Chains A and B, each alone.
Chain A
Amino acid sequence: MGLAVYIGKRVVRLVLSLIAVSILTFTLLQLAPGNFADLQRVNSGATNLGGVGTESMVGELESRYGADVPAWKQYLIFMKGAAHWDFGPSYKYASRNVQDIIAEAFPVSATLALLAVLLALLIAVPVGVFAALRQNSKSDHTTMFVVTLGHALPSYLTAAFMILLFSATLKLLPSGGWNGPKDLILPVLALSLGPAAVLARYVRSSMLETLREEYITAALAKGGPRRTVIVRHALRNSLIPLVTVAGPLLAALMTGTVFVEALLRIPGLGLYFANAAASRDMPLLMGTALFFALILMVTNLVVDLAYGLLDPRIRAAGGGPHDRD
């Protein structure tokens, strides 16, 4: 019962937040200079049609939203459709509805994000454990320096380096595109290094904290093998808080792959979002912004719920998830 109430409250807050996001996005778009039609003419290098094109474009916009539609009415028309998961056709990709674009492009971004997080975990856990076990040694400092560097490098800069190294110099991997599994390697590598750094630091501090617990001392005192104690007792408990970091990281990656997608020519949702902003494509920009916001909020909710499930101490203490508010 407490759980149901908690989830209900979060859903209400989620809906209100989505409405706020939509108003903010729409307003910023109205304030931006330029409009889709003019940009389309400039960007396509087309001949200037004088008044004819202008009249055609105005007529088309009218037919889409009705004659002489003020901005607030455009917004309401859009939101009415959005409530039924119908964002209407994109201006730029005129033969596709925005929800269809999302359905096609999001799996691409999600795949990159998921693989990147999994790879990041594979890198971060051993690195973090290694650093923790050798706390304050040269190995620890060196590892943490490399980790900090990885954290500081933007993923698109990493991607650019990798293109120059693996494609331009070694010619081992494609420099971009989305035509087969080989095209996954560079983007996943580029996207995983930052998260790996974050997770490694977190694993290290969590591991250090766990190693100081009395039950570790007790296990060692019983004569248990050090390796067994570290892996079965210390590591497992250290990984529980990782959920609260990995979850949001996954969501952030799903919605933040835009630069890597642009650089490596991957048809993910982030690239559509960037293109929508650049070309003032209102339905596509609104649709992707709302979808990203939804992903982030739902993921945070799931993480909060999962954390309670994973850690029995929280449940045992009698605290439901609502206590975390």
Chain B
Amino acid sequence: MAISAHLSVRQSPVGQTRRDFLRLSGLTIAAIGGSWSLTGCGLFGADSKAPDGQSTLKIDYVPVEVLDPQVITNGMWILSRGISEGLVAQNENGDGVQPAVASEWKVSDDHLTYTFTLRGNAQWSDGKPVVAQDFERTYKRLFTPAGGSAGGTTLGANSYQTATGIKGAQDFLSGVLTDWTKVGVHANGDHELVLTLAHPNPDFLLALTHPAMLPLPMDLVESKPKDWQNPPNYVSNGPYTVTEWVANSRLILVPNEKYWDRGNVKVGRIQVNLVEPSAAATATVPYENGETDLVQLAGPDVLRFQKSATLSKELEQTENYSILYLAKLRSQHKAMDDVRVRKALSLALDRKTLAGVQPGQQPGVSLVTSRAKGWDDSIAIKEDVGEAKQLLAQAGYPNGQGLPPVRLLVGVPDTTLADAIVDSWTKQLGIKAVVDHVEAGVYTERRWQVQKGDYIGFYYGTFAGLPTWPTMVGSLWSPQNVQEISLPSDQWQKYQAVQDDKTMTPAAKTAQLKAIRTGYAAKPALEIGTLVEQAAAESDDAKRLALYKQAAKLREEQYLYLPVLWQSLFHAVKPKVHGLQLRAYPDYFYLKPLSVVS
């Protein structure tokens, strides 16, 4: 009796407890699942739709990590499309400028002083007027060395282009000059900005269209140094502003209601899908699935589009957009130090065949592309396999014998063209050549190193920029770059040690680096620098062009940088997108002329 009662009592609470627990846990799980579903809307960000009666334009773009145009990232090129607006904008062809924030400008007789008049009705998206001091404060931030009290740039390389040529900018940025009043930027009242150049620069106005020269809302930047870029803080002065930014996912742009030309801004909402460049064959799925209206195409996709009756009509080509080049690697082995070897490799590239590997390519016969006004083939490389073989023999490598394998250091996923290049060398010269395909981090480190043993060759890269002589001779593969790459290996190591020295003052470091270049760089490389300086200072157009050509030809003749191909850019664009004006410039097109017609 007693035993029976005890057992009965013990069983009942245990069973009940467990059953209740399971019931409660089930309800809890259901509640959690339900709440996740309910909050799912919040997970996707604000529920924003295009205003009634207006379509959403969807464009694909690479991921944007930073919205500061003074830092070299992909973000700066989306800003210059029409989120921020500079003093001037490029014209439809990209070879001249048209008024933007500045309604007009005057140039002094000596071509050194540009006086811009700002529009009286230009406003930021928060309603404040755009004034000349905004530009001066912005440029001071741009030209201030990182870590300075003015705020400096955020982490990353500074985006200012030296070829722009504003007086004192380079010295201020390198820390040599600390007196801001000696820099050629001055606001006269609210609507007049005076920019002074170190030397006349006929392409100065075009240079002002670079993202680095876009104005920033400095009150906001200084009061919220970290958060100014993040919506809802974000303020811009261009046709559109950013209302939503989900990193690795999307940017949402809406018209800036305060824009001075609001009536000509047509699209009510632009969704920028932030898409990591991916393999061909899958990259176009969103486009063909209606998820995006505009996408950049890779080679194999271009071929498929070209062959399709319907898709070919949606294909847009921008010719001569970028330059594929090879740059000499430093090495303990001396073979590549001999200009005859480098020249032989350039003359035997078989650029015509390489140009046929992918759509839209032309033989790259010079580092300056034919888009530059005044270009002619006097600076062009003339291929000659016979001469190439003679050069190898003269250098001590008859029929390539004794020449170590020539390496091509590649840091991008697609090695199609690199493979084609080594094929050309192998077939035309009978030498050994291999592609050294590495991860991007390995690439960035190794391309600057002195390669050990008999590792000789080039690293593989591409550039795009303004098709002007100051840019293509003065900035891209600049005289300083040519001098650096021409340094003997031991001097290059010393040079790098100075660059890495954290105890030296900027002025001292700059002086030491210059001393090494002056003392040990190849004489032709130093002469290139002299020619570029002379060209920059020359006021006569014909003489200046001649000087740039002379510098460009001399650079080609060093064969330290080998031009390989001039490459086109391809976009797929839905028919409903109107007003697209593609330019051969890294921001590709402006948003302002666009409209969507269903």
Which A residues contact B (CB, under 8 angstroms)? 32-64, 67-68, 89, 91-97, 101, 107-108, 111, 114-115, 118, 160, 163-164, 167-168, 171, 174-181, 183-184, 236, 262, 265-267, 271-272, 275, 278, 280, 309-310, 312, 316
Contact with A along B505-529 (1 / 0, CB 8 A): 0100110010000000000000000
A37 to B464, CA, bound (A): 20
In the complex, what's the smallest C-beta–C-beta distance from A271 to chain B, in angstroms?
A: 5
In the complex, what's the smallest C-beta–C-beta distance from A273 to chain B, in angstroms?
A: 11
A177 to B21, CA, bound (A): 40
Closest B residue to A58 by beta carbon equals B502
A35 to B155, CA, bound (A): 12
Which B residues contact A (CB, under 8 angstroms)? 14, 17-18, 21-22, 25, 32-33, 36, 40-41, 43-45, 63, 65-68, 71-74, 145-147, 152-162, 170, 173-175, 226-230, 246-250, 271, 273-276, 282, 285-286, 288-291, 411, 440-446, 448, 462-465, 471, 475-478, 480-481, 484, 499-500, 502-503, 506, 509-510, 513, 586
Task: Flag if A267 contacts B249 (CB, 8 Å).
Answer: yes
Given A47-B463, A97-B226, A312-B14, A179:B250 Cβ within 8 A: yes
11 residue pairs of the A-B complex, CB under 8 angstroms, read A35-B441, A38-B444, A41-B157, A91-B155, A94-B65, A94-B68, A168-B282, A168-B288, A171-B289, A175-B285, A278-B440
Closest A residue to B513 by beta carbon equals A51
In the complex, what's the smallest C-beta–C-beta distance from A75 to chain B, in angstroms?
A: 18
Task: Flag if B36 contacts A46 (CB, 8 Å).
Answer: no
In the complex, what's the smallest C-beta–C-beta distance from A314 to chain B, in angstroms?
A: 12
Given A55-B145, A94-B68, A312-B14, A68:B289 Cβ within 8 A: no
Among B40, B286, B481, which residue has its beta carbon within 8 angstroms of that of A181? B40
Among A63, A175, A271, which residue has its beta carbon within 8 angstroms of that of B286? A175
Please give, as numbers and ranges, the residues of chain B lying within 8 Å of A176 by CB-CB distance. Answer: 275, 286, 291
Closest A residue to B230 by beta carbon equals A95
Task: Flag if A265 contacts B502 (CB, 8 Å).
Answer: no
A57 to B156, CA, bound (A): 6
Please give, as numbers and ranges, the residues of chain A lying within 8 Å of B291 by CB-CB distance. Answer: 174-177
In the complex, what's the smallest C-beta–C-beta distance from B575 to chain A, in angstroms?
A: 18
A38 to B448, CA, bound (A): 10
Please give, as numbers and ranges, the residues of chain B lying within 8 Å of A35 by CB-CB distance. Answer: 441, 444-445
A62 to B502, CA, bound (A): 8
Q: In the A-B complex, list the 7 residue pairs whose CB atoms are closest, starting with the nearest.
A: A34-B441, A63-B147, A60-B146, A38-B444, A59-B146, A53-B157, A95-B229
Given A41-B72, A68-B503, A95-B67, A52:B158 Cβ within 8 A: yes
Please give, as numbers and ranges, the residues of chain B lying within 8 Å of A95 by CB-CB distance. Answer: 66-68, 154, 226-230
Given A52-B162, A68-B502, A267-B248, A89:B480 Cβ within 8 A: no
8 extra interface residue pairs, beta carbon distance < 8 Å, beyond A44-B74, A92-B66? A34-B440, A34-B442, A34-B444, A43-B440, A54-B499, A267-B246, A275-B63, A310-B25
Task: Flag if A94 contacts B71 (CB, 8 Å).
Answer: yes
Please give, as numbers and ranges, the residues of chain A lying within 8 Å of B513 by CB-CB distance. Answer: 51
Among B44, B157, B159, which residue has its beta carbon within 8 angstroms of that of A57? B157
Task: Flag if B21 contacts A309 (CB, 8 Å).
Answer: yes
Task: Flag if A44 contacts B226 (CB, 8 Å).
Answer: no
Please give, as numbers and ranges, the residues of chain B lying within 8 Å of A67 by CB-CB distance. Answer: 502
Task: Flag if A96 contacts B230 (CB, 8 Å).
Answer: yes
Closest B residue to A46 by beta carbon equals B72
Closest A residue to B463 by beta carbon equals A47
In the complex, what's the smallest C-beta–C-beta distance from B355 to chain A, in angstroms?
A: 21
Please give, as numbers and ranges, the residues of chain A lying within 8 Å of B72 by CB-CB distance. Answer: 40-41, 44, 46, 53
Given A56-B158, A91-B155, A95-B67, A39:B440 Cβ within 8 A: yes
A38 to B439, CA, bound (A): 13
Closest B residue to A94 by beta carbon equals B154
In the complex, what's the smallest C-beta–C-beta distance from B111 to chain A, in angstroms?
A: 24
Closest A residue to B465 by beta carbon equals A47
Please give, as numbers and ranges, the residues of chain A lying within 8 Å of B14 by CB-CB distance. Answer: 312, 316
Please give, as numbers and ranges, the residues of chain A lying within 8 Å of B248 by CB-CB distance. Answer: 265-267, 271-272, 275
Main secondary structure of the interface of A (DSSP, over half): helix
Please give, as numbers and ranges, the residues of chain B lying within 8 Å of A68 by CB-CB distance. Answer: 502-503
Among B33, B250, B443, which residue has its beta carbon within 8 angstroms of that of A34? B443
Please give, as numbers and ranges, the residues of chain B lying within 8 Å of A178 by CB-CB distance. Answer: 44-45, 246, 249-250
Please give, as numbers and ranges, the residues of chain A lying within 8 Å of B503 by CB-CB distance. Answer: 68
Task: Flag if B155 contacts A64 (CB, 8 Å).
Answer: yes
Given A40-B73, A53-B158, A265-B276, A94:B66 Cβ within 8 A: yes
Closest A residue to B498 by beta carbon equals A51
Closest B residue to A174 by beta carbon equals B291
Task: Flag if A34 contacts B445 (CB, 8 Å).
Answer: yes
Among B63, B158, B476, which residue has its beta carbon within 8 angstroms of that of A48? B476
Given A53-B158, A68-B502, A265:B273 Cβ within 8 A: yes
Please give, as numbers and ranges, the residues of chain B lying within 8 Å of A63 by CB-CB distance. Answer: 146-147, 152
A111 to B41, CA, bound (A): 12
Given A44-B72, A94-B66, A265-B273, A59:B145 Cβ within 8 A: yes
A280 to B442, CA, bound (A): 11
Among A59, A96, A118, A266, which residue has its beta carbon within 8 angstroms of that of B33? A118
Task: Flag if B476 contacts A47 (CB, 8 Å).
Answer: yes
In the complex, what's the smallest C-beta–C-beta distance from A187 to chain B, in angstroms?
A: 12
In the complex, what's the smallest C-beta–C-beta distance from A284 to chain B, in angstroms?
A: 10
A111 to B250, CA, bound (A): 19
Task: Flag if A94 contacts B36 (CB, 8 Å).
Answer: no
Task: Flag if B156 contacts A174 (CB, 8 Å).
Answer: no
Closest A residue to B444 by beta carbon equals A38
Please give, as numbers and ranges, the residues of chain B lying within 8 Å of A280 by CB-CB distance. Answer: 441
In the complex, what's the smallest C-beta–C-beta distance from A127 to chain B, in angstroms?
A: 20
In the complex, what's the smallest C-beta–C-beta distance from A160 to chain B, in angstroms?
A: 7
A115 to B147, CA, bound (A): 46
Task: Flag if A33 contacts B66 (CB, 8 Å).
Answer: no
Please give, as numbers and ranges, the residues of chain B lying within 8 Å of A265 by CB-CB distance. Answer: 248-249, 273-276
Given A59-B152, A163-B285, A265-B276, A51:B174 Cβ within 8 A: yes
In the complex, what's the smallest C-beta–C-beta distance from B302 to chain A, in angstroms?
A: 18
Please give, as numbers and ranges, the residues of chain B lying within 8 Å of A275 by CB-CB distance. Answer: 63, 248
In the complex, what's the smallest C-beta–C-beta distance from A204 to chain B, in angstroms?
A: 21
Please give, as numbers and ranges, the residues of chain A lying within 8 Å of B170 by CB-CB distance. Answer: 52
In the complex, what's the smallest C-beta–C-beta distance from B254 to chain A, in angstroms?
A: 16
In the complex, what's the smallest C-beta–C-beta distance from B572 to chain A, in angstroms?
A: 15
In the complex, what's the smallest C-beta–C-beta distance from B179 to chain A, in angstroms?
A: 19
Task: Flag if A45 contacts B586 (CB, 8 Å).
Answer: yes
In the complex, what's the smallest C-beta–C-beta distance from B417 to chain A, in angstroms?
A: 16
Given A262-B276, A267-B249, A184:B162 Cβ within 8 A: no
Chain A CB within 10 Å, residue with most, of B21, B291, B480, B499: B291
Among B32, B174, B273, which residue has its beta carbon within 8 angstroms of that of A52? B174
In the complex, what's the smallest C-beta–C-beta distance from A158 to chain B, in angstroms?
A: 15
Task: Flag if A111 contacts B40 (CB, 8 Å).
Answer: yes
Task: Flag if A267 contacts B22 (CB, 8 Å).
Answer: no
Task: Flag if A49 contacts B249 (CB, 8 Å).
Answer: no
Among B158, B446, B462, which residue has its beta carbon within 8 angstroms of that of A45? B462
Given A40-B72, A55-B145, A265-B275, A312:B18 Cβ within 8 A: yes
Task: Flag if A183 contacts B273 (CB, 8 Å).
Answer: no
In the complex, what's the smallest C-beta–C-beta distance from A306 to chain B, in angstroms?
A: 9
